A and B are shown apart, each in its own frame.
Chain A
């Protein structure tokens, strides 16, 4: 099946620094990538939808200047948390979807990235 790789799986940074998380689709072209934040009680919050070659569409309440999303190619999307603060500490998950011939609409998920901001 399709594989999505997310890196790094864990990152610890100091408050005020920026952190970049990568999401790669390894064996398919992801026309759309999504970034989610998973909270301690496991609920998934959609942060933004990213279609290749266009600007990401952010959900209400998500600061686009703080959470920079780039989807420069059909296999790579990045999330950069700028000037991170302790409240940004969370589990971030990316997912990818293929929309082409024989597409099923299924999302393929990365392993997630645990961000801890000190």
Chain B
């Protein structure tokens, strides 16, 4: 079974402060991991995926297989980062994609 855990429902930080959104997963094979974001009144969209190892809008996420984690980080939060963030896991191929329960990030001006 595959499972994604996001322990924080809400994370409030001040503008300019560092951000870390936690994600832990459970999967027996080699997972594909993603972070999706949903801004207010918009549809879900991809933020980044672990395979590309890229930084998007200042966010990065590193896959730690030992800790089975894929935490999302940003050194300096901006007000426009306020949104719902979902960690997602897929087994690749035609496998299903499982989402965590999401973390609402609130950046306080």
Q: A99-B93, A105-B34 are in contact. Are A42 and B84 (CB under 8 A)?
A: yes
Judged by a CB distance under 8 angstroms, whether A32 is at the interface is yes
Judged by a CB distance under 8 angstroms, whether B90 is at the interface is yes
Q: What residue in chain B is nearest A105 (Cβ atoms)?
A: B32
A46 contacts B98, C-beta separation under 8 Å: yes
Which residues of chain A are near B104, meaning CB under 8 Å? 42
A31 contacts B94, C-beta separation under 8 Å: yes
Q: Pick out which of these stretches binds chain A: B38-46, B55-63, B72-80.
A: B38-46
The contact size tier of chain B is 20 to 34
- Give CA–CA (A52, B43) in the complex, Å: 23
Residue among B34, B44, B101 with most chain A CB within 10 A: B44
SS class, residues of chain B in contact with chain A? strand
B94 contacts A32, C-beta separation under 8 Å: yes
Q: Which of A34, A44, A93 contacts B96 (CB 8 A)?
A: A34
Which residues of chain A are near B93, meaning CB under 8 Å? 99
Question: Shortest beta-carbon distance, A96 to chain B, in Å?
Answer: 11
A46 contacts B43, C-beta separation under 8 Å: no
Question: Shortest beta-carbon distance, A34 to chain B, in Å?
Answer: 6
- Give CA–CA (A103, B32) in the complex, Å: 13
B34 contacts A44, C-beta separation under 8 Å: no
A107 contacts B43, C-beta separation under 8 Å: no
Show 22 residue pairs from A and B whose CB-CB distance is below 8 angstroms, ordered by the A residue: A36-B99, A41-B9, A41-B101, A42-B101, A42-B104, A43-B99, A43-B102, A44-B86, A44-B99, A44-B102, A51-B94, A93-B44, A95-B97, A97-B97, A99-B94, A105-B32, A105-B49, A105-B51, A105-B92, A106-B46, A107-B44, A109-B44
B residues adjacent to A (C-beta < 8 A): 9, 32, 34, 36, 38, 43-46, 49, 51-52, 84, 86, 88, 90, 92-94, 96-99, 101-102, 104
